[in-house]
Amino acid sequence: MSEGGDVEGRIGHAFRDKGLLKRALTHTSAATRGQSSYQRLEFLGDRVLAIVIAEMLYETYPDAEEGELARRLNALVKRETCADVARHLGFGSALRLGPGEAATGGRTKLAILADVMEAVIAAVYLDGGLDAARTLVRREWEPLMAAPTAPLRDAKTMLQEWLQGQGLPAPRYVLVDRSGPDHDPRFTIAVEMTGKDGASANGRSKREAEQAAATAVLAREGLWQAEGRTHG
């Protein structure tokens, strides 16, 4: 069985258009004039994943307010979660990478695995429709939703509450850098605090980078464990 066939078996979807799956597994470093990368599929897959997860949360937590649903959604669609699912499905060995990217550990990079997971979801959606994509997402994400590891309060909220508890003003978030193309930007945000050392972090959006910077401070202060749980 080919690598593509292995992936089809693991995700439970046999592609009518094998080219979609090939594209979903192709990094920009391996793209050629005749074979594009997964970037456009990643864009679509991110949205398909979000709508299916939102649907699942709406059904599972009928009494939850919008804010709680949003926080649960963010935890389930974030890059780390997508990368974890991609590892579980063994996508790393099936990736099509250029020699340089392969030599620098591209098959295990969080960002690449997360992007490929979203691209595969989009490929399934385009090949089999929303029901097929929903089947894949529900099977892989329902166990994560049933036992979430992320706290219901987001990192920015926790950091502000912690500072206020010490009589300090709210943190300030400053854009340090923006890089990458318009369709795939990367932002570097620094969080600055009165009387405390700040931190900086990267993200695909300003909000993601702000949350990551706040998380870095909380983790440094022992208020946020690596797996996303607080000490109380």
Q: Taking Cα atoms as reference points, which of 184, 176, 164, 169 lies closest to residue 212?
A: 176
Q: Which of 46, 127, 208, 210 is catalytic?
A: 46
Q: Torsion over CA of 29, 35, 38 and 44, rounded to 10 degrees?
A: 150
Contact call for residues 20 and 126 (beta carbons, < 8 A):
yes
Cα separation, 159 vs 135, in Å, equals 37
Half-sphere exposure of 81 (CA within 13 A, CB side): 23
* 118 noted as active-site residue: yes
Question: Which regions of the chain does DSSP assign to beta strands (E)?
Answer: 172-179, 186-193, 196-203
Q: Which of 42, 101, 115, 118 is catalytic?
A: 118
**Six-digit token pair at 30?**
């391996």
Q: What are the CA-CA distances from residue 47 to residues 14, 26, 124 (Å)?
A: 22, 20, 13
Backbone φ and ψ for 150, nearest 5 degrees, come out as -85, 140
Tokens 């029901």 correspond to what residue?
Answer: 131
Q: What are the CA-CA distances from residue 12 to residues 3, 86, 126, 189 (Å)?
A: 14, 14, 15, 39
| Catalytic positions | 46, 118
